[in-house]
Amino acid sequence: MAKQAKTLTTQEIRRVLDYIATRNHAARNRAMLLITYQAGLRVGEVAALQYGDVVAEDSSIKAEIVLRPEQTKGQHARTVFLGERIRKELAIYVKANPQTNPVKPLFYTQKREGFTANTLCQHFFYIYKRAGIAGASSHSGRRTFITTLASKGIGVRVLMHLCGHRSISTTQAYIDVNDAMMRTAVDLV
């Protein structure tokens, strides 16, 4: 079985964000990273986002992103729900990077091209590596999203739908059980 992406602690996420803040393209990198942690998007889905997927005609950030089949891993359309925190992050990014064409990529490389899933995967790898987070990968945000919600008592069926999984067993494999979750569980008895 392949090794799973590292689930990050709050302190590790802070460390990555602190590192990002010192680098070029901080608003873009912060928004891309946080949308994986706070909305559970796959790196390929982040790369496939178009401006109009996220930004409404009135320039506000949408509360829901409707991903088309070609934007998802399994070729199944799904709705991604955006919480208030990630909508604020995206609003900061969009304000600094306005766009008029709704079909243009939401996130651009230094060369003003859209990211591919592969280039964004590599980009995340180097961000984590340079921030000193061993074992983290482009999938760490998504795995942390699922584990965090599970530790807060969100049911696996809700998680399955939030992540666009077709099987509960797939979702369950993402959940990283830790000591804090087990302490909370036994305190419920």
pLDDT of residue 93: 96
Q: What are phi and psi of 66, to 5 degrees?
A: -100, 110
The confidence score (pLDDT) of residue 175 equals: 75
Contact present, 12 and 133 (Cβ < 8 Å):
yes
Q: pLDDT value at position 1?
A: 47
Q: Residue 176 has what pLDDT?
A: 72
Nearest 5°: the CA angle 50, 137, 65 is 25
Please give the average pLDDT of every successive group of 10 residues along the chain, which has 189 residues.
Answer: 80 97 95 96 96 95 96 91 96 93 93 91 96 94 90 84 79 74 77
Q: Which two tokens stand for residue 139?
A: 């999938």
Q: What are phi and psi of 117, to 5 degrees?
A: -60, -40
Cβ count near 160 (within 10 Å): 19
Report residue 173: phi and psi, to 5°.
-65, -20
| CA contacts within 13 A on the Cβ side of 21 | 6
What pLDDT, on a 0 to 100 scale, did the predictor assign at position 2?
56
Query: Can you give the pLDDT at residue 118?
Result: 95
Give the Cα separation of 16 and 128 in Å (integer): 7
